[in-house]
């Protein structure tokens, strides 16, 4: 325990250095959540994908990237097949309006660009030439293999909807887990029916 002081200092400095960028990222996450509420799914998807690009070069914190992944999955089913592959003109307009600058395929605030390390910036610049991800064909998501469109058979009642787990006990009370429906929301994809492509981490391209 002798070294606790220097270790704490180092941690504090590290946290402070990323705090400014985390502020920008959390604002983008808030904006995307609002866009979903307003049913602007394509724009929200672009905002999430932009953050996924940033994450590949300069990793976001665990909570933020989880939100990005959830958002990509949640918006994927609302897009037309070709919408997922290209950044929309609407997103680019929004980025310019906010004063963001382009680094490779990503749009970020100028201050965040200044803080990017040379290797992170280089990685983003190079990813413009990246190929379409063969695993997801550029969609950034794949169908969840665990369910049908986000719905799974209830494990507690084996899909019968009745407590007791057998059709014979038809006089049993409705299953408490599924409320008698025999089906529940898939936990793996949180009911979206999609999972973020593990090969490209949601951006739709690979080096």
Contact residues: Zn ion, CB under 5 A: 133, 135-136, 144, 146-147, 154, 156-157, 175, 177-178, 186, 188-189, 197, 199-200
- Nearest-approach distance from CB 53 to Zn ion, in angstroms: 13
- Nearest-approach distance from CB 175 to Zn ion, in angstroms: 3
- Nearest-approach distance from CB 74 to Zn ion, in angstroms: 12
59 DSSP assignment: P
Q: Which is nearer to Zn ion, 109 or 193 (CB)?
A: 193
Q: Which is nearer to Zn ion, 59 or 198 (CB)?
A: 198
Return the closest-CA partner of residue 57 out of 16, 103, 15, 110.
103
Q: Which is nearer to Zn ion, 71 or 109 (CB)?
A: 71
- Nearest-approach distance from CB 161 to Zn ion, in angstroms: 6
Q: Whose structure tokens read 């604002």?
A: 27
User: Could you write out the DSSP letters of every residue in 165-181?
Assistant: SSTT-TTSPBPTTTTTS
Return the closest-CA partner of residue 196 out of 27, 18, 56.
56
- Nearest-approach distance from CB 71 to Zn ion, in angstroms: 16
Q: Which is nearer to Zn ion, 94 or 199 (CB)?
A: 199
Q: Which is nearer to Zn ion, 67 or 184 (CB)?
A: 184
Q: Please, which contacts does 84-89 make with residues 24 or more away whose CB atoms are closer than 8 Å?
A: 84/45, 84/138, 84/139, 84/140, 84/141, 84/204, 85/132, 85/138, 85/139, 85/204, 87/46, 87/49, 87/50, 88/42, 88/43, 88/46
């Amino acid at each position: 325990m002798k070294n606790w002081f220097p270790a704490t200092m180092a941690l504090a400095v590290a946290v402070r250095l990323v705090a400014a960028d985390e502020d920008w990222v959390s604002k983008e996450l808030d904006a995307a959540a609002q866009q979903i509420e307003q049913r602007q799914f394509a724009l929200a998807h672009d905002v999430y994908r932009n953050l996924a690009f940033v994450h590949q070069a300069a990793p976001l914190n665990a909570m933020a990237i989880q939100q990005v992944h959830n958002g990509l999955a949640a918006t994927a089913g609302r897009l037309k097949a070709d919408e997922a592959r290209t950044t929309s003109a609407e997103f680019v307009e929004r980025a310019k309006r906010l004063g963001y600058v382009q680094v490779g395929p990503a749009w970020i605030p100028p201050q965040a660009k200044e803080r990017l390390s040379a290797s992170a910036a280089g990685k983003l610049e190079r990813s413009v030439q990246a190929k379409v991800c063969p695993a997801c064909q550029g969609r950034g998501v794949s169908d969840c293999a665990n369910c049908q469109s986000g719905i799974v058979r209830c494990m507690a009642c084996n899909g019968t909807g009745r407590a007791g787990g057998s059709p014979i006990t038809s006089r049993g009370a409705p299953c408490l887990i599924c409320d008698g429906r025999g089906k529940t929301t898939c936990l793996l994809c949180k009911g979206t029916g999609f999972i973020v492509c593990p090969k490209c981490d949601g951006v739709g391209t690979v080096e």
